[in-house]
Amino acid sequence: MSAPLWLAGVSFLLLVPWGGWVERELLRHGIGKRIRVDGPASHQLKSGTATMGGLYFLAGLGIFSVGLALAGHAEVWLPFGAMLGFGLLGAFDDWRGLKDVQGVGWLARSKFWWQWGLGIVLALLLFYASEAHVLLLPLSGRALDIGWWYVPLGALLIVGFSNAVNLTDGLDGLAGGTAAIAYGAYGLLAAARGLSGLSLFCFALVGALLAFLWFNVHPARMFMGDTGSQALGAGLAAVAMLSGHWLLLPLIGLVFVAEALSVMVQVGYFKFTRRRYGEGRRVLRMAPLHHHYELGGWSEVQVTSRFWIVAAVVGALGVALGMR
């Protein structure tokens, strides 16, 4: 484990000095966040904050991925390719949002088809590039060869988690911190299976995310945007697939799952009650889930730090289950 941990530290130390320059360059090119009007009113103060900061940690990770590939770990191109592909979709979404006065980017009904198309392509690439298409059962460690089910299940995870992390990215430091914990957990699981390249990739990303968080914690100077959040979700799903620990992803990524489910429940219940009673009703004060707690009186820092705690606990449980 020493090499992945060293790499995380090196990644952080090499990238964090560049954060201020990235922030200034984004703002110099007019890449400042437009806050949507349907969010909490207090968030309007964040308008103009540098966004598309996902380019910052993706660029750093790209450099480390090249180095790892040259060192004989060519498998890192698979998760990085997933991140790059969904990062490009997210960048297009961010760019559309910058051009809209209300901050609304790419419409979901249009974006969804592109995400599914790319998700299927990536799942096929992972299928043909992987020698084993196994799903490891927690506790027993038994490996099941799932064959061609690898492709549809993989596409579902990639698309689902790209959107789940995207929904989580609504408070300063929330998505970046929880993603760093999840990637760290999978880095430990990969190391335990002898997947050194995958473990090194995960911890290089952990260091890059910590460098980004230096500028993203409250009060944030830079947002990751869809460029970063969609990339992180897709990459996490790819890492889970390559590690074999598919079944642990809902646990290790519990915060992301809860955020996505909160939106689904809120929207579904609103539509149902509107048809049934003539007016839409809500389960939560506001969705995603972090806004529910924010409107309930928790400060932004309280919500973020408590979600980090939950992410750390379920991440540790996931590692414990995966190493049995």
Quote the tokens at residue 222. Answer: 């830079």
With vertex at residue 227, the alpha carbon angle to CA 230 and CA 10, rounded to the nearest 5 degrees, is: 95
Classify residue 186 as exposed, middle or buried by CB count within 10 Å of its CB (0-12, 13-18, 19+): buried
- pLDDT (average), residues 213-239: 96
Its domain, for residue 220, covers 2-248
Looking at the domain assignment, is residue 51 inside a domain? yes
Residue 265 pLDDT greater than 80, yes or no: yes
pLDDT tens per residue across span 178-198: 999 999 999 999 999 999 999
Does a structural domain hold residue 269?
A: no
Residue 274 lies in a domain: no
Q: Is the pLDDT of residue 131 over 80?
A: no
Q: Mean pLDDT, to the nearest integer, of 295-322?
A: 96
Question: Which pLDDT does position 130 carry in this prediction?
Answer: 80
Output the pLDDT for position 98: 84
Decide if 305 is inside a domain. Answer: no
Residue 111 maps to a domain: yes
* pLDDT at position 14: 97
Give the model's pLDDT for residue 308. Answer: 98
Confidence band, pLDDT 50/70/90 cuts, at residue 85:
very high
CB neighbour list of residue 14: distance below 8 Å, 6 or more residues apart: 60
Domains held by the chain: number: 1
Query: Residue 313 falls within a domain, yes or no?
Result: no
Residue 311 lies in a domain: no
Write the secondary structure of the chain as one string of H (helix), E (strand) and C (coil): CHHHHHHHHHHHHHHHHHHHHHHHHHHHCCCECCCCCCCCHHHHHHCCCECCCHHHHHHHHHHHHHHHHHCCCHHHHHHHHHHHHHHHHHHHHHHHHHHCCCCCCCCHHHHHHHHHHHHHHHHHHHHHHCCCCEEECCCCCCEEECHHHHHHHHHHHHHHHHHHHHHHCCCCCHHHHHHHHHHHHHHHHHHHCCCHHHHHHHHHHHHHHHHHHHHHCCCCCECCHHHHHHHHHHHHHHHHHHHCCHHHHHHHCHHHHHHHHHHHHHHHHHHHHHHHHCCCCCCCCCCCHHHHHHHCCCCHHHHHHHHHHHHHHHHHHHHHHHHC
pLDDT digits (tens, 9 = 90+) for 89-113: 999 999 888 877 665 667 777 888 9
Q: What is the pLDDT of residues 135-155, one digit of tens each?
A: 899 888 788 888 899 999 999
Other beta carbons within 10 angstroms of residue 273's beta carbon come to: 15
More confident residue, 34 or 55: 55
What is the rounded distance in angstroms from the CA atom of residue 23 to the CA atom of residue 17? 11
Measured at the CA of 318, the angle between CA 118 and CA 320, to 5 degrees, comes to 145
pLDDT of residue 104: 65
Q: Is the dihedral of CA 216, 220, 224, 226 positive or negative?
A: positive
Return the pLDDT at 258: 98
Predicted pLDDT at 38: 65
Residue 318 is assigned to a structural domain of this protein: no
pLDDT category at 212 given cuts 50, 70, 90 is: very high
Encode burial over 166-183: b for 16+ CB neighbours within 10 A, e otherwise.
Answer: bbbbbbbbbbbbbbbbbb
For residue 97, the model assigns a pLDDT of: 83
